[in-house]
Amino acid sequence: MLNIIFYFQVHQPYRLKHFNVLDIAQGSDMFDDQLNGQVMRKVSQKCYLPTNKLLLELIKKHEGRFKISYSITGTAIEQFKRYSPETLDSFKALVDTGCVEIIGETYYHSLSFLYDSNEFLDQVMMHRDLMKQEFGYDTVSFRNTELIYQDRLSDLVFEIEGFKTILTEGVDRILQWRSPLYAYKNYTKDINLLLKYYQLSDDIAFRFSNRDWPEYPLTVDKFVNWIDHLTLSEHKGRNQFLNLFMDYETFGEHQWAESGIFDFMAHFPTEILKRENLGFAHPKDTSDLANYQQESISFPDAVSWADEQRDLSAWLENDMQHNAIETLYEMFNRIKSKGDPKLLKTARLLSTSDHFYYMCAKYFQDGDVHKYFSPYDSPDQAYIYYINALAALEERL
Amino acid sequence: MKILMFTWEFPPLISGGLGMACYGMIKALLAQGIKIDLVLPTKEFVYFPMRQVEDVDTLPVVFVDAEKQKSYVYNTFNTVEERLEFIGISQQPESYFQLADIRRDSIALKKEYWLSETVNMEERELWQEMTANLIGEEDLIRKVQEYTLRAEKLAKSLEYDLIHAHDWLCYPAGMLARKIGGKPLIVHIHATEFDRAGGPGDERIHKIEHAGMTVADKVIAVSQYTAQMIMSRYRIDTAKIKIVHNAFSVPDDAVIAKQRIFKGPVILFLGRITLQKGPDYFLEMSQRVLATHPEARFIMAGTGDMSRKLLRRSASLKLRNRFLFTGFLNRKQVERILQAADIYVLPSVSEPFGISPLEAMAFGITSIISKQSGVAEVVHHAFKIDFWDTDLWVETINHLIENPQNCVKMGIDGMHEVNRIQWDEAAEKIRQLYSVTLAEYIRKVGA
């Protein structure tokens, strides 16, 4: 049996204003409420609302056999409430079907794991509480910001009662001869690892509407046949996991409705469920489904799902990114000891990884992706506004 | 007396000290009864007839094209910005006339004036030297071509006693006007290519500068420092050179009072971020001062060709959120940043004058200025240090941070001093030079 784990990342950051040195004096708000509201309303209209509606229909139609999973960041939930409450309601309706797993992560979609373990644990607990509060859901699976993973992450996550499984990227340099189609254990064998099958995930997420791609157009038949072929490697009745992980904004935002992405999704589960050897599962089912001795796998260096390198270079490569993030984390303890919740909240909103992503100065293909997502003219601008924001925060200490 | 004046900058069309200097100078000249027709690199072909002191702010305008002038006169503008927009100028440097508007054939500068029989050999050579060097496809060079062609039309149609051209961008226009109108030319040196480039620079520009100064009847240098440069590098006849130091008058609506943005001491660099101004020295001293005084903030205000390089370097030096960039600032924003600063530094490699330190001092900010600057000749209540002597810069800044009373006292003394350096005095020197030049010219022509 091959179990498809469809997991979607739902995230929106609080983008900074074009925040200048002179703005520091005003004590004014540093986040661009207008832009953030605009983006949230736009993405809700183009992606969240129509996709949620479609998936809800599919879940009902397939009577429990179609399963999907989400991680929804705290910054996204907050902004749903402010700018698009109907979107939050539609997620709640999905969770109520019982066919949706909610996955844990850091509340602020931050890189705190790499810089401040205490802050990381705080943010994970905040997110867990939020999921309980909003959806009545107890999270048991975890994925770190942008699938960033390294051995030490499993140690930290293991400290938190209840997490059994972590999702990350199926990076070739780590897997080597191994297949991402099996469930693994972390290096201490305490936690399950599910690894993204990036070829097929990216066929949907990145290549779906690319007319230069030899496989264009991607039809449901073609895609299901590829998946079916994967089961040829199955032996001794071992259950396989096909981990299709992607940004939720793939649907209707990165791949426009005109590309046919919604039609594709409308028919995909039906075709999968016609075949006896294919099905859908949740990450929380991993232990039950893994009917074999799971091999442990070690990630000595950090990986992620970003860019071609699948490492940390999207956020932490150039000097601007390093100076910015180090400045932030050096301030965290001082901010915490000050005991002003408003300042701490601001610092945490500034910990969202997107701020560092905007400062990425890599060119070629990846640079284009960064540019697409950035609200600023250049990485330098993003850096200037961010450093000014940190200066403003420090002045308020 | 009426002057046909060419300059590349005038508020709000401004990117540096030249615009500020022209503003103060023209205002003071108008007060002394001089009339000025001002020509700027505006998008639309216009000139600004200035007759009274208020005109420097209201910018009365005449369109050379009669139809345009009609539509301008009948147009009602709700705001000053709308009117400036119509003329084609705004506060951004990009508002210089756009490349797309420049006629393709403008390279053919009117050579007939210069190749005619009446022109002597020497003049012809100079003109050829200049036209030969005005050929290029760069935006700037083509803008100068266009500007020079406008001068031809204006020189014919306007009435004036004397031509006054500021810096090399306007020398070709000044030279052409002199030839056409048969009136004397004064060129005004605010900076030479050696200053701007912080090294030899563009040879074409040297040639244009040389031609302009040689053709001119008089040359005004903004400092002794610049006069030296003109004599040694361009070999201009010393008898032609007159030194007129710049001044600075605080705008009437400026608010001088301190208004802190940061709790810690603020050290300010304000100017174009380009080699000439020594921004890399500023970064180096910042790094070293911050090692002793991490509570200080260093602010780099302005833009320029080295902005990106400096930004990246400041990040690599891990200066945290202690080294900040403002980007482009308009006049009001400049005032705001000056209200928030404690120490002003100008580590220029070569600064013909440097109005910006006067402005900073007028705001009561203690200033440290490069010895390689003209402004060092006129102020006493400021620290003067060789641009390369980073040890001493660092020591001085540390001293001022550690002795805030000294810092405040120096700032106040500097403020009083600068308030005495008024444009009236400089304008009086210029007015006298106009008279002398005109008298000499008439004598020469009459003879």
Task: Report ipTM for this prediction.
Answer: 0.91
B378 and B434 assigned to the same domain: no
Interface check A103 vs B, CB under 8 A: no
Tell me if B259 is assigned to some domain.
no
Mean pLDDT for B191-217 is 88
pLDDT over 70 percentage in chain A: 98
Model confidence band, residue B203 (pLDDT cutoffs 50, 70, 90):
confident
Least confident of A25-39, A43-57, A185-199, A360-374: A360-374
Find the CB nearest A394 among B259, B260, B321.
Answer: B321
**pLDDT by residue (tens digit) across B433-442?**
999 999 999 9
Q: Do A323 and B326 touch (CB under 8 A)?
A: no
Find the CB nearest B337 among A22, A326, A327.
Answer: A22
Give the residue numbers of A annotated as catalytic, written as ranges. 146
What is the domain count for chain B?
2
User: Residue type for A313, please?
Assistant: S
Question: What's the confidence (pLDDT) of residue A300?
Answer: 97
Mutation target for B interface from A332, A387, A388, A393: give the one with most B CBs within 10 A.
Answer: A387
Residue B137 has pLDDT above 90, yes or no: no
| Residues B223 and B352 sit within 8 Å (Cβ to Cβ) | yes
| Closest residue in chain A to residue B301, using alpha carbons only | A21
B37 and B139 assigned to the same domain: yes
B312 and B203 assigned to the same domain: no
Residue B129 has pLDDT above 70, yes or no: no
Residue with more model confidence, B105 or A190: A190
Identify the H or E element spanning B277.
none
Name, of B95-104, B138-147, B274-283, the range with top average pLDDT: B274-283
Q: Do B315 and A391 touch (CB under 8 A)?
A: no
- Minimal C-alpha gap between B186 and chain A (Å): 41
Residue A380 has pLDDT above 50, yes or no: yes
| Residues A200 and A241 sit within 8 Å (Cβ to Cβ) | no
* Cβ burial, residue A29 (10 Å; 0-12/13-18/19+): exposed
Q: Do B318 and A322 touch (CB under 8 A)?
A: yes
B175 and B243 assigned to the same domain: yes
- Minimal C-alpha gap between B263 and chain A (Å): 7
Tell me if B221 is assigned to some domain.
yes
CA–CA dist A361, B244 (Å, integer)? 47
Give the pairing type, strands A165-169 and A192-196. parallel
Model confidence band, residue B100 (pLDDT cutoffs 50, 70, 90):
very low
B354 and B232 assigned to the same domain: no
**pLDDT by residue (tens digit) across B275-315?**
999 999 999 999 999 999 999 999 999 988 899 999 999 99
Residue B14 has pLDDT above 90, yes or no: no
- Minimal C-alpha gap between A161 and chain B (Å): 37
Model confidence band, residue B190 (pLDDT cutoffs 50, 70, 90):
very high
Q: Do B315 and A394 touch (CB under 8 A)?
A: no
Q: Which domain holds residue B391?
A: 266-420
Residues of chain A neighbouring B315 (CB-CB closer than 8 A): 318-320, 322-324, 383
Question: What's the confidence (pLDDT) of residue B71?
Answer: 86
- Minimal C-alpha gap between A326 and chain B (Å): 8
Q: Do A326 and B320 touch (CB under 8 A)?
A: yes
Residues of chain A neighbouring B326 (CB-CB closer than 8 A): 20-22
| Closest residue in chain A to residue B299, using alpha carbons only | A21
Which residues sit opposite B367 in a β-bridge? B344
- Minimal C-alpha gap between A199 and chain B (Å): 36
CA–CA dist A135, A129 (Å, integer)? 10
Could you tell me the CA-to-CA distances from A182 to A25, A297, B253 in Å, in that order? 56, 11, 73
Residue with more model confidence, B19 or B360: B360
Interface check A319 vs B, CB under 8 A: yes
Tell me if B31 is assigned to some domain.
yes
Question: What's the confidence (pLDDT) of residue B121?
Answer: 64
User: Residue type for A206, please?
Assistant: F
Question: What's the confidence (pLDDT) of residue A67?
Answer: 98
| Closest residue in chain A to residue B300, using alpha carbons only | A21
Torsion of CA B309, B314, B318, B323, to 10 degrees: -150
Residue A363: Cβ within 10 Å count: 10
Question: What's the confidence (pLDDT) of residue B95?
Answer: 35
Question: What's the confidence (pLDDT) of residue B337?
Answer: 96
B56 and B192 assigned to the same domain: yes
Mutation target for A interface from B320, B330, B335, B336: give the one with most A CBs within 10 A.
Answer: B320
B223: domain CATH number is 3.40.50.2000
Q: Do A323 and B318 touch (CB under 8 A)?
A: yes
Tell me if B86 is assigned to some domain.
yes
Model confidence band, residue B134 (pLDDT cutoffs 50, 70, 90):
low
Residue B371 has pLDDT above 80, yes or no: yes
- Helical axes A319-338 vs A379-395, angle rounded to 10°: 20
Question: What's the confidence (pLDDT) of residue A88?
Answer: 98
Residue B48 has pLDDT above 90, yes or no: yes
Question: What's the confidence (pLDDT) of residue B96?
Answer: 38
B430 and B415 assigned to the same domain: no
Q: What is the mean pLDDT of chain B?
A: 88
B243 and B278 assigned to the same domain: no
Unique residue bearing structure tokens 């001085």:
B396
Tell me if B97 is assigned to some domain.
yes
Q: Do A383 and B333 touch (CB under 8 A)?
A: no
**pLDDT by residue (tens digit) across B381-429?**
999 999 999 999 999 999 999 999 999 999 999 999 999 999 999 999 9
Q: Which residues of B touch A (CB under 8 A)?
A: 259-263, 297, 299, 301, 307-308, 311-312, 314-316, 318-322, 324-327, 333, 336-337, 340
**pLDDT by residue (tens digit) across A207-236?**
999 999 999 999 999 999 999 999 988 888
B122 and B159 assigned to the same domain: yes
Interface check A365 vs B, CB under 8 A: no
| Closest residue in chain B to residue A317, using alpha carbons only | B316
Q: How many cross-chain Cβ pairs, A to B, lie less than 8 Å apart?
A: 69
Least confident of A138-152, B104-118, B206-220, B303-317: B104-118
Strands across the sheet containing A141-143: A141-143, A165-169, A192-196, A184-185
- Minimal C-alpha gap between B318 and chain A (Å): 5
- The two structure tokens encoding residue B223: 């400092």
- Minimal C-alpha gap between A106 and chain B (Å): 25
Tell me if B255 is assigned to some domain.
no
Find the CB nearest B263 among A330, A390, A395.
Answer: A395
B366 and B217 assigned to the same domain: no
Tell me if B126 is assigned to some domain.
yes
Please count the helices (runs of H) and the strands (runs of E) in chain A. Answer: 18, 9
Q: Do B315 and A323 touch (CB under 8 A)?
A: yes
- The two structure tokens encoding residue A74: 């705290």
Question: What's the confidence (pLDDT) of residue A199?
Answer: 96
Find the CB nearest B299 among A21, A25, A322.
Answer: A21
B138 and B156 assigned to the same domain: yes
B219 and B131 assigned to the same domain: yes
Q: Do B324 and A391 touch (CB under 8 A)?
A: yes
**pLDDT by residue (tens digit) across B74-86?**
888 887 778 877 8
Tell me if B253 is assigned to some domain.
no
CA–CA dist B341, B259 (Å, integer)? 9
Q: What is the mean pLDDT of chain A?
A: 95
